[in-house]
């Protein structure tokens, strides 16, 4: 299959339990919950997305090998001693990465020595072999992926509440304030909820604070 990629860039992970970790992000084009066009937002299954995933600005890659080599070349340093025992980290995101992510690409990047994470809305099955799975539910859309490393709920949002997900098999449960005009109030509500429900931790978009992508 051909892989359509919006952007590939090196930065610090800004969200979740891996926040602060250097990583290359591979943002796939397309999503199954919204077209990405502003005129369709009112009828979208996800209405608060803050990401541009339309188009293939980073290229269309004919093979997993071609994309894997392009991702690897984005790292400024790959010497093992630079990572202190850790592996260089790649995050697949979107849009919805499950639309394009394949086991072939995962296996090729593992063979090159990378650790692989994914950020998914959870509504589509993910291929096996990923090292870190983040699911971010969107409204009442049913989940196909119900286990992983972290569940990140943007809150408040219509159609779901934290209680809906507490029986799922995730290591970390993160409540992230919705970044809309009510952001300060949303943050206060998330803090209050976490204090009363300590299974949940407050999730913040730290990359926006420090000015990285």
Query: Residue-wise over 167-206: b if at least 16 C-beta within 10 A, else e?
Result: ebebebbbbbbbeeeeeeebbebbeebbeeeeebbebbbe
* 50 appears as a binding residue in the annotation: yes
Long-range Cβ pairs for the range 21-25 (8 Å, 24+): 21/89, 22/88, 22/89, 23/89, 23/90, 23/91, 23/117, 24/71, 24/74, 24/75, 24/88, 24/89, 24/90, 24/91, 25/90, 25/91, 25/93, 25/213
* 122 appears as a binding residue in the annotation: no
* 138 appears as a binding residue in the annotation: yes
Structural tokens at position 30: 């397309």
CA distance to 10, 13, 91, 177, per residue, from 206 (Å):
16, 8, 16, 12
* 74 appears as a binding residue in the annotation: no
Please list the active-site residues. 25, 31, 46, 49-51, 119, 207
* 190 appears as a binding residue in the annotation: no
* 31 appears as a binding residue in the annotation: yes
* 103 appears as a binding residue in the annotation: no
* 95 appears as a binding residue in the annotation: yes
If one counts every other C-beta atom within 10 angstroms of the C-beta of residue 4, the result is 19
* 85 appears as a binding residue in the annotation: no
* 27 appears as a binding residue in the annotation: yes
* 11 appears as a binding residue in the annotation: no
* 26 appears as a binding residue in the annotation: no
Query: DSSP H helical segments within 75-182, as ranges?
Result: 103-111
Q: Which residues are annotated as a binding site for [4Fe-4S] cluster?
A: 31, 46, 49
Q: Which residues are annotated as a binding site?
A: 12-14, 27, 31, 46, 48-51, 93, 95, 136-138, 176-179
Q: Which residues are annotated as a binding site for substrate?
A: 12-14, 27, 93
Q: Which residues are annotated as a binding site for Mg(2+)?
A: 51
């Amino acid at each position: 299959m051909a892989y359509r990629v919006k952007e590939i860039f090196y930065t610090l992970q800004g969200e979740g339990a891996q926040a602060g970790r250097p990583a290359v992000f591979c943002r796939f084009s397309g999503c199954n919950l919204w077209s990405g066009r502003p005129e369709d937002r009112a009828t979208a299954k996800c209405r608060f997305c803050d990401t541009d995933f339309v188009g293939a600005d980073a290229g269309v890659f004919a093979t997993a090998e071609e994309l894997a080599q392009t991702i690897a070349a984005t790292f400024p340093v790959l010497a093992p001693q630079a990572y202190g025992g850790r592996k260089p980290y790649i995050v697949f995101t979107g849009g919805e990465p499950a639309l394009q992510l394949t086991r072939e690409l995962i296996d090729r990047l593992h063979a090159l020595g990378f650790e692989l994470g994914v950020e998914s809305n959870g509504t589509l099955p993910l291929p096996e072999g990923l090292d870190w799975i983040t699911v971010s539910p969107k409204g009442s859309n049913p989940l196909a992926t119900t286990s992983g490393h972290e569940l990140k709920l943007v809150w408040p949002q219509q159609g779901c509440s934290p209680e809906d997900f507490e029986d799922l098999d995730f290591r970390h449960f993160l409540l992230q304030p919705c970044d809309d005009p009510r952001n300060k109030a949303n943050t206060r509500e998330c803090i209050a909820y976490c204090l009363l429900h300590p299974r949940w931790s407050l999730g913040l978009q730290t990359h926006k604070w420090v000015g990285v992508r």
